Amino acid sequence: MCTFDVFEMQVESLLSHPMRPLRILCLLLVLCQGLLWARGALAQQAAAATATRPVMTLRVVGGLAGISQYTKLEEPFWSHELERLSAGKYRANIVPFDRAGLPGADMLRFLQLGVVPFGTVLMSSLVGTFPQYAAPDLVGLNPDMPTLRTHLAAFRPYLERALREEQGIEALAIYVYPAQMLFCKKPIASLSDLKGWRVRVSSVGQADFVEALGAEPVHTAFAQLVPRFEAGALDCAITGTLSGNTIGLPELTTHLYALPLNWGMAIFGANQAAWQALPMDLQDLLRRELPKLEAAVWAESERDTAQGLVCNSGKPGCVVGRPGKMRIVPASAADTVRSREIFTSAVLPRWLQRCGPQCAQVWSQTIGRVSGLAAHSP
């Protein structure tokens, strides 16, 4: 077979031969052409061998459909980037969890059983069944994203260890959606105005907060928000600033109260057996790349929170949403204090009641340690 070593020997032999320079040049060109042909044949053989090798395809259940975190980040990563990063060795099929035909409230159980090998679990869906895992996103705890980051950093080591040891789930990333705020079809100036109103909630924790204000919580799926408003069944809804814009809430509501109640956090995890069955190079790739995806999701959430406020009000600078005509009502300092008081007097105690005595210790060793908020077992 023709190689560079053989080629070099042939060149030296020709250069020392008493032959006309033009003939030597022609022979050198022929040798070069032969070498290139041989290399091309080897490359074709390698490509054919790779083409016959089966490509591993992962099955992934992602986040909410239609939300920019999914459409701009999650879906492209799994559908395209994974194959590119692995040079074609690995692929993935991803479907949003609200279109997967599986109850979102049972996603943790599906992961545990391996029915879903890789999936996304909303923390809010765990408040009733596994409340100990939902502590970082309790309603009224995080008035801004820096506070949320601090509380998650304190809680994350416990969360990852508990999911692995208690549920057989490997936590690979933690995502966050834009700030959850109040869209109302009536004028609202403070939290006190909610008394007696029907307010859409998506979790038990949000219901605890709304009830403490004297309002009526109405559990409503995100996909049912518009029909419920159109039917007159809701006065307000707690949802993300940009996601509410995406489904057209500025056409059905007039006021947006800009107080983050919670953030809609989600755990992306893998069934432990499915994770351990992956080739080591794929595990290493995901361990390296998923933190980058997580960071991108958090940055997108922060941008979307701001974009939601700009777009819903119709101010200049709306890029990703639809300009509306809502009035953005800034949260008062008094309501920020009241939100924290409701958290300590209602949300946290009810979380402890559902969670059990051991959760008081978990709280004090994690979020309570950095927040200064004490939790006492009921």
The yes-or-no answer to whether 53-177+264-303 and 180-263+312-357 have a common fold is yes
Judge whether 112 and 271 are in contact, CB under 8 Å.
yes
Closest CA to 126 of 359, 361, 366, 351: 351
User: Where along the chain do its domains lie?
Assistant: 4-40, 53-177+264-303, 180-263+312-357
Q: Report pLDDT digits (tens) over 248-298.
A: 999 999 999 999 999 989 999 999 999 999 999 999 999 999 999 999 999
Range with the largest mean pLDDT of 22-36, 39-53, 110-124: 110-124
Q: Out of 6-10, 192-196, 271-275, 355-359, pick the least confident.
A: 6-10
Closest CA to 72 of 320, 322, 323, 324: 320
Q: Can you list the alpha helix ranges (DSSP code H) found in 236-347?
A: 241-246, 272-276, 280-313, 333-342
| Residue 82, pLDDT score | 98
Domain range 180-263+312-357, CATH architecture? 3-Layer(aba) Sandwich (3.40)
| Residue 299, pLDDT score | 96
Burial class (CB in 10 A: 0-12, 13-18, 19+), 151: buried
Determine the average pLDDT of the residues in 202-219. 95
What is the pTM for the complete model shown? 0.81
What homologous superfamily does CATH list for 53-177+264-303?
Bacterial extracellular solute-binding protein, family 7 (3.40.190.170)
